[in-house]
Copies of this chain bind each other. A is one copy, B any other.
């Protein structure tokens, strides 16, 4: 039995699927390192969620590729590379999930592991946008987070979809789960803002 839910097949272009798999796998590695370094269970759980997402994408891509091969060995041969890359992103996501598992299983992060990951200068953090948050309904670009608090929104989880590296025009909605990157003070200030602890988007932090 596959670990993911029963998925209704809908034809998504292979290019889109592969691109999302690659982007997610890279995000997962960053998240997993950060989760291990800071023993952050929330981040680790995001990694495990993303792994499910990659599994789903891999499943859809496999069907797409088989259909695209149209029963023709030459077409199939040309598509082998696509399947190989997809499988590689899947392996990378597995590796990230293994690291995240150290945190979710409460095994504890060994000092050797922390020391190896400690070059990660910027930390990742998860924040859920509350209804009354000062940032709900605002466009990413308008918040000017990099200048204000040295924070970048690197992913948004909304309605089961992941938006990686959101554009400046992307509007933040209540209920969004945001993954941010930045210095510890900045991302903590941003989390408070997203979750409505801080009411005002101030000039300086």
Contact = CB atoms under 8 A, between A and B. Distances in A.
Interface of A: 14-15, 18-19, 22, 29, 32, 36, 77-82, 84-85, 87-89, 91-92, 94-96, 98-99, 101-102, 107-110, 112-113, 115-117
Main SS at interface, chain A = helix
Nearest to A68: B112
Contacts of A99: 84-85, 88
Contact of A85 (B36, B80, B88): B36
B102 A96 contact: no
Which 7 interchain pairs have the tightest Cβ spacing? A88-B95, A91-B95, A81-B102, A81-B110, A88-B98, A19-B116, A92-B95
22 contacts: A15-B112, A18-B116, A29-B92, A36-B81, A78-B108, A78-B110, A79-B110, A80-B102, A81-B102, A81-B109, A81-B110, A82-B110, A82-B112, A82-B113, A84-B101, A85-B102, A85-B116, A87-B95, A87-B98, A88-B98, A91-B95, A92-B95
B88 A14 contact: no
Contact of A81 (B14, B88, B113, B115): B113
Nearest to A102: B81
A83 to B, nearest CB: 10
A33 B15 CA distance: 16
